[in-house]
Amino acid sequence: MTRREAVETTGRPESPDREALTGVQREILALLCSGMTDAAVARTLGISTRTVKRHVRQAMEHLGARSRLELGIRLGRHGLL
């Protein structure tokens, strides 16, 4: 099955690649995976919590994750952080 077929069949990539995420998204997700809250990440990076949530939502869309938990699992499984 090709990646395109996997996406068309399931709506999600079979194995996402690192380029699916921007550098800022990877940085935010790494901080969140280390246990920081949205607010703490926002303070650390000098951005708003709304911006943090937007980046997380976009990463979820790119990787086909339906929840933050699924996003974390996908990040770990595919070595994206």
Domain count, the chain: 1
Domain extent at residue 54: 3-77
Question: How much is the pTM?
Answer: 0.76
* pLDDT number for residue 49: 98
pLDDT in tens, 19-32: 789 999 999 999 99
Task: Give the mean model confidence (pLDDT) for residues 33-39.
Answer: 96
Which letter does DSSP use for residue 65 in this model? Answer: -
Does the pLDDT at position 36 exceed 80?
yes
CATH number for the domain that contains residue 57: 1.10.10.10
Handedness of CA 21, 23, 28, 33 (dihedral sign): positive
Instruction: List own/partner pairs for 2-11 with CB under 8 A and 24 or more apart.
Output: 7/64, 10/64, 11/64
* pLDDT number for residue 81: 79
Compute CA distances 36 → 1, 9, 74, whole Å.
37, 35, 19
